[in-house]
Structure formats: C-alpha cells, structure tokens
Structure 1
Amino acid sequence: MTNHRTGAAEQIAMRGLLGTLNDELGSPLAPEWERAFWAVPRHAFLPETVWLGDDLTTYARGTAPQTWLSTVYADAPLVTQINDGKDPGDGERWPSSSASAPSIVFRMLDLLRVHAGHRVLEIGTGTGWNAGLLAHRLGAENVTTIEVDPSLAIHAALALKHAGLEPRVISGDGAAGFPAGVPYDRIIATCSVRQVPRAWLEQTAPAGVILTPWETPWLCYGLLRLTVDGTGVASGWFSPHASFMLMRNQRTDLRIYRDVVRDEHVPAQSVTLLSPWAVTGDDWAAQFAVGLQTRTVWHTWHDNPGVDGVASRLWLAATDATSWAAVDWDGRTDERFTVWEYGPRRLWAEVEAAYAWWRQVGSPGPDRFGLTVAPHGQHTPWLDSPDQPVPSTG
C-alpha cells in the first residue's frame, strides 16, 4: 500500500475541508474530533481510484493527483468500490462500497456521544477512516470494527497500521456483531439497515447507544439513534440526515420485468388524483413517512415505456414480488393518472392511504418519528412518542 504523506498540498486541502465542516455543521468541531481530524488524515485511507457522481466518474491518484486530492477533501461521498470488487468489464457498473461525506462522518460521531473508556463496535469498516477517528479518540484497544468484504478489511487494517492505530479489524458479517468483545457502550453502523439486527441489541450494554443509517424499500434516508434499556428493548429517534448503502445481507435484488410482472397478470384499472411525484419527488419528509407505513414496497420510474399514451410510468412492487402497481402519466394532464394494480395487495391504494395519513397529522418531518425494537425483533415506528404508533398499510 502507498504511504500517503501529509505535505503542504494535503494540509491546505485539509484546512479547506475543516472550514467547510464547521460551516456545514453549524459550529466548530469539538476539540477532540478536530485533533483526530488532523492526526488521522482522510487521504491516507482512500484507495488509489475512487468514483464520483451518478455516472461513477473515475478519479485516479496516479494519473491526476491534484484532482484526486481535491476530490478526497471535498465534503461529498465517494464510491471506493464497484461491483463488490469484481471487474464489470463492459457491463453495468454499480457502487458497492463508499466513503461517507466527511460532514456526515462527524455528525454521526457527535450523535454517538462517546466518552473516555467507552467500548465501540463499528459495523462497516470501509476505508477504515471512521475507525481511525474513533481509535484516536478512545484508544485502539476500545474499538472493534467489522467489514463483510475481506479485501476492504485488509486495506483498512493496513491503512490503520500505517497511521499508528490498530483497532481490532474483523472480516465478517456485521449483522452478527462480535460477541467476543461484548458488552459495547456504543454500536455505530456505516451502512443502512431495514431491520436492526437482534445481535446488536444483545451486545449493547444497558443505557448503551446504537446509531445506524436507516432505509425502507421506498426511501434510503435518515439516521436512527436507539438507546438500549436493561430489558433488551431499544427505542429512539430518527434524524433527517444522509443516505447510505444498504447492508449487504439485507439487499433486495428485484427487477420489475425479470422478477415481478408476468404476461399472464391481469391488473385492476382505476384512476387516482394523487400525483406520483408527490410521493417520489423532492419532498423527503413525505417519502420517509410513506416508507415507514408501507414498509415492504419499493418503486422505480420508467420514462417513455413504449405504451401508447403513456409518457412516464411509476412502478411499485412488494419485496416478496407477489404484488405490483403502475401509475401512468400521459404527458398532458397533472390532475388524473391511470392506475394498474395486481396481486393480493393494492399497493397504490396503500401509498395513497399513507400519504393521506401523513398530511392529516401535519406533514411531520423525519425528526418527529421514532422507533422501538423489541428483544424478539418486532419494529414499531411511532410519531412523537412510543404510545402513538405509525399505522401500517400492508
């Protein structure tokens, strides 16, 4: 692995990012995290090649070092692996590991509220930078980090060693935690989950905290901070920040035409006055609320689907592939839309009900929602307090 020095160019880039962080977070980094920022430079953990943007533009350190450095020290997420590390050739490329935007990294570290002596388990080592920041703050002996991809785990362990920090790096399934190090005062995940693994609850000390990005099939968005009580129940609030890649063992690999829709399906036809963009557009609060209620429904857009009179089609499907729906826009009117629904669930009707409930209760943002996880695994989302559960449409 290349030994990344911290020279003048790196220091200038780091100073620029620090100013950006202080502006983005609304206040200067806490002194202990600023010391970690300088002692554990981000560029020492990033791979020689990174990818940026929806088109996965390649930035290679060897061919454009200044561009690579400015990219590394921008306050933006970077894709650090594609296709689970396999060469896609001329095929489809998709992100499989990333480095979070630095502002999100430090926002999460602040939300974690660590104190001297705390033992921390990190799920999703990635590049190792976050583990390095924690190890500098708490001591390497108090940090354990798990990475499902063996090659990423090796890269992170080497980067940490070169930085003079050697927390315990485990190659394995983060959903299982690491029982040998229990109990943990804090568990922090750098991948999103749709279900909080029971192992995390079991391995967290009473009054300990679990901080994880959240995702529903409808929307990947939000952070969830749970406090575990002495009975194994975890409860806490969402906050409206960030989207992360889903934990690998919770992925849903479904495609509309390959796995869901069949030629022999005969859908029911109806009309809706609810714009499909109201629940899939820029209003993340609406999408978040719809996702909490529908729970197992995902969607995708199909522009110019090749159907007469249809300019765009919104597809919906249940994650078990037993039900689907389509909402058609004719390209002319934004007041009425044709709906097609098939299967035991009427998915668009569920979305309409979820959206109507959200409007009825005042269109709350994610930070008014919370979640309680029982020891046996039941997840109960709520609005404002645990005694006000969010309705489930499915």
Structure 2
Amino acid sequence: MADHVHQGRPSHTGLGRALMTGGALTPDWLPAFTEVPRSAFLPELMWPFDMGAARSVPVSRSGDPESWLAYADADVPIVTQWDDGRHTGTEPGQMSTSSASMPSVVFRMLRALDVRGGHRVLEIGTGTGWNAALLAHRAGAGNVVTVEVDGAVAERARRALHAFGAPARMVHGDGFRGFPEGAPYDRIIATCGLRSLPFAWVRQSGPGGVIVAPWGTHYSNADAITRLVVAEDGRSASGAFAGPVEFMKLRSQRLPPVEHRAYVPDKVAVGEETTTAVTEEAFAGDRFGAGRFALGLRVPACVNLVAERRDGARPVWFYGLTDRSWACVMFRDGDAARVWQSGPRRLWDEAEAALAWWEERGRPGHERFGLTLTETGQSAWLDDPADSWEV
C-alpha cells in the first residue's frame, strides 16, 4: 500500500487509544487501523458532525488543514455527499446521502464480521472506500469486492483506493443484488441501513457464511447491527442483533416524507379521543433505546414521529403505511396524556400493546432480539428463533 504519513500523528494515535479503551477496536484490527487511516479516503471538502454545535459543519482541507485532520481522526460521522449529488456550495444540503461512519461504529461492525486472512468478502456500499481498504488489509489482496450504487461516489472511491494501493475490486452497481461473479463469499457486510434483506446475499454465501448489516423497521430511523449466519443447507440465515446504530438507508428502501395532511386534513379532534397512563419517557425517551426498536418490530408498516417539546407539551404521531390510519398521543405536564386515533388500524392500541409486551418480558435489550432470513421473507424473534413473527 502507498506510504501515507499518519503513524505517530497525535490525533490518530489518540483515536486508536480511545477506540481500544471503549472496546470498539480489538487488538486483531489494530494493524489495519494503524496502516489504513480514514484521512486517506476523505474529500477536500467534507461535513463532519460537530458534537458541540449538534450539526454538520463544512471543513476544507486546503482552507483549514488542522481542523480537517482533527475531524478525520475524531470519532464522528462525516458527510461526504448531500442530496444524491445535486447539492452545490459549502453549506450542508437537505439530506445526507453518503458519508464516512464513526470509526467506533466501523470497527464494531468489523468485529461482528469476524474476517480472517483469505476470506472472500463482499461489501455493499463503498462510500469513501475506507472500509473496503480496511477489509483488504485484513483479508488480503484479491479477496474483497465492494459495490457502490452512486456513480460519482463510486468513482471517487475508486480513485482513493487506487491512490492508497488498497487491493479491493471496485464495482459500480446495485449491491442489493449482490455480485454473483465473485461468489461464494465467506463474509458480506452492508454499510447502509436496510428494511428488507435480500436472499441473494444468502445464495452468494457459503454454509457458515456471515452477513452483517444495519437493519431496522420503518417505525424509526434507528437500526441495529444484525449478524446472520448462513445455515449448512443454505436455505436460511439467522442470528441475534449486536447493538444500536443509525445509517443512511439503502436508496431503493428510503421512505418519502410523511405528508401529514394526507392523514389528518383537519384538526386532531376529528379522531376518536381517549386517555392513557403511558408516560412520555416510554415513547419519547432514548431514540436508540431497545424499547423503541422493539415497538418497531411489533407495530409493522408504521412510521412514528416524535415532535419537539414546546410549552410543556409533546405530540407523538403514528402513521400507517398500508392505509391512512393515524394516531396521536399528546403528553402534557401535569395532565393525563390524551390520545386520538382514526382509520381501519387502531395504531395507538397496537403501540400500547407492543409496549406492554416488551415490559412484560423484562424490557429485553437489542441482543435478545434476532432476525431470520429465508427465500420467502424475514422474521424477528426474541430469545428463540423458533418463536418468530414476520417483519
């Protein structure tokens, strides 16, 4: 690989130490972290997430090299494309559509993938190319294929991988279909959030192959890392989740924004009104918590939107995806929460029942839930794959 000046740089060394201390970076991945810096794959202009300001900020390498390098070596996500490439200028765009993930998330997923030297690896979603270069360092020359759907992103990654000397094969295409030409693979990893996993990835894996991907439901943007192991007969893949993450969604599985007026053309009061003893914390607490993830598993085809808190009140909305059913619960300081719902589905009743189901089972964390993928679809389960339901 090309010689890049990064060893001994204080910020790079400090990041590695922090990742090791936090458990994201394990000793077996330390050589790849040391030899393959994220900075070698980042563009001249990028938009790292500033934790203090709680927003993405533009940083140019030529204009502010010190800040550029500091962000490159920080455990923050960095947007590298807005609005599918239509964005121009230096200020952030409307929607982030390609990025370099937080290093802690990158190495958590690589740890779950359990790549060994000589493994054949397929990556879905090349992005900057950094992850592919890390995989190539670990698996060896000629063993990594990376697929990127966006032509401009693919070309930038191709140039970065070539300049660095990373021996990974770059393919411009739809990774949802996999890449049969390079199959079978020992390991498949996706770096985009999915709502439905393709069985093509199972077909392109060998028995015992591992598939790692961010997976979630349309209920929220919160994903969890799923780690599936392909069965010996190749007819299914199954495994438990390994903790929460949030990724940009696979382009073909993005949902358009909910049009509120299409559901509620008039005042909320047109719906059936009741009250509930459920607390605001249960629905508006930690957006990456296991409770919200569990609700997504138990309330299918539903989008949940938690509004900002204003004047001591917060509305939480539920929108059905198969019809125009909707529900709203209004949490207000000092009063019982008021509920309105309308349509064929009683979405609040479903959500309240799902919350009770989760609490009755001891509020299980992400790691107790799992996913099974077969040719006919995907199903979720709690503790036992035999006790599953379709998602």
The reply to whether TM is greater than 0.5 is: yes
CA RMSD of aligned residues (A): 2.4
Code of the aligned partner of 1:11: R
Q: Distance in 1 between matches of 2:345 and 2:215?
A: 25
Report SS of the residue matched to 2:115.
coil
1:197/1:171 CA distance change after superposition, 3 Å: same
Instruction: Name 1:180's counterpart in structure 2.
Output: 181
Instruction: Name 1:285's counterpart in structure 2.
Output: 290
Code of the aligned partner of 1:113: D
Conserved 8 A contact 1:368-1:384: yes
Which residues of structure 2 form unaligned runs of 5+?
A: none
Deviations 1:266-322 (A, max 9, x none): 4222211112431231270111111111132222233479xxx99332111123352
Q: Distance in 1 between matches of 2:361 and 2:309?
A: 36
In percent, how many aligned pairs have the same letter? Answer: 43
Conserved 8 A contact 2:241-2:370: yes
Q: Distance in 2 between matches of 1:39 and 1:342?
A: 57
Code of the aligned partner of 1:35: P
Q: Distance in 1 between matches of 2:36 and 2:225?
A: 24
Q: Distance in 1 between matches of 2:260 and 2:42?
A: 38
Are residues 1:239 and 2:242 paired? yes
Superposed displacement of residue 52, structure 1: 3.0
Deviations 1:236-295 (A, max 9, x none): 000113221111111111323254333499422221111243123127011111111113
Conserved 8 A contact 1:276-1:327: no
1:5/1:227 CA distance change after superposition, 3 Å: closer
Are residues 1:193 and 2:197 paired? no
TM-score of the superposed pair, with normalisation by structure 2: 0.90
Alignment of 1:210-249 (within 5 A): 210-219=211-220, 220-229=222-231, 230-249=233-252
Superposed displacement of residue 24, structure 1: 1.2
Q: Distance in 1 between matches of 2:390 and 2:155?
A: 44
1:213/1:63 CA distance change after superposition, 3 Å: same
Q: Distance in 1 between matches of 2:281 and 2:323?
A: 23
TM-score of the superposed pair, with normalisation by structure 1: 0.90
Conserved 8 A contact 2:329-2:339: yes
Code of the aligned partner of 1:376: T
Q: Distance in 2 between matches of 1:368 and 1:74?
A: 31
Instruction: Name 1:74's counterpart in structure 2.
Output: 74
Q: Distance in 1 between matches of 2:92 and 2:63?
A: 24
Instruction: Name 2:9's counterpart in structure 1.
Output: 11
Instruction: Name 1:87's counterpart in structure 2.
Output: 87
Q: Distance in 2 between matches of 1:254 and 1:163?
A: 39
Alignment of 1:27-176 (within 5 A): 29-31=26-28, 33-53=29-49, 54-87=54-87, 93-176=94-177
Instruction: Name 2:19's counterpart in structure 1.
Output: 21
Which residues of structure 1 form unaligned runs of 5+?
A: none
Report SS of the residue matched to 1:234.
strand
Instruction: Name 1:361's counterpart in structure 2.
Output: 361
Query: How many residue pairs end up in the alignment?
Result: 381
Conserved 8 A contact 2:262-2:324: no
Q: Distance in 1 between matches of 2:74 and 2:308?
A: 33
Q: Distance in 2 between matches of 1:58 and 1:225?
A: 34
